[in-house]
């Protein structure tokens, strides 16, 4: 389900950009892109709404920031606990952070019946 709320009057609702479900595993995502910068900034409120939605979805959910910098890297998925907090209390994902993020194949594997822990994909 894709439900982007950027610029809409639904800022107060807990609504992530993307929700995907496979084999009972729920992926809750905020989507961010940048082609001109090596850093993507994310408002604290956006991170918290993804965290809250995933909490409500249950223990088999995973809250992520989906980032796209360029075609060479493609889409990467950064778990919320791997985000870097800014001095202002918001978050950031650098190109280098994204390079260490999960790829789509990892999400597919993570949703397989026999794999349940994110630590399987840690650095």
For residue 121, the model assigns a pLDDT of 55
Residues in the chain: 123
Per the structure block, which two tokens stand in for 77?
């998925």
- Closest-CA residue to 28 (of 8, 10, 7, 1): 1
CB 16 within 8 A of CB 28: yes
For residue 37, the model assigns a pLDDT of 87
Distance CA 17, CA 40 (A): 16
The DSSP annotation for 35-78 comes to SS-SEEEE-HHHHHHHHHHHHHH-TTEEEEEEEE--TTT-EEEE
For residue 60, the model assigns a pLDDT of 85
Q: How many CA atoms lie within 13 A of 38 on its CB side?
A: 3
- Closest-CA residue to 107 (of 96, 93, 118): 118
Residue of 6, 13, 34, 122 marked catalytic: 6
User: Would residue 72 show up in a list of annotated catalytic residues for this protein?
Assistant: no
Mean pLDDT, each 10-residue run in order, the chain (123 residues): 52 79 94 92 96 93 95 94 96 95 92 64 54
Distance CA 13, CA 37 (A): 29
Tell me the domains of the chain and their CATH numbers: 18-116 (3.40.1350.10)
Give this prediction's pTM: 0.81
For residue 35, the model assigns a pLDDT of 86
């Amino acid at each position: 389900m894709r439900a982007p709320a950027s610029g809409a009057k639904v800022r107060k609702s807990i609504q992530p950009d993307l929700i995907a479900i496979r084999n009972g595993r729920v992926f809750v995502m905020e989507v961010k892109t940048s082609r001109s910068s090596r850093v993507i900034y994310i408002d604290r409120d956006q991170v918290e709404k993804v965290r809250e939605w995933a909490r409500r979805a249950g223990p088999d959910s995973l809250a992520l920031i989906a980032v796209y910098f360029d075609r060479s890297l493609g889409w990467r998925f950064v778990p919320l606990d791997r985000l870097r907090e800014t001095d202002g209390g918001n978050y950031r994902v650098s190109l280098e952070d994204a390079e260490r993020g999960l790829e789509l194949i990892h999400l597919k594997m993570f949703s397989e019946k026999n794999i349940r822990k994110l630590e399987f994909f840690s650095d």
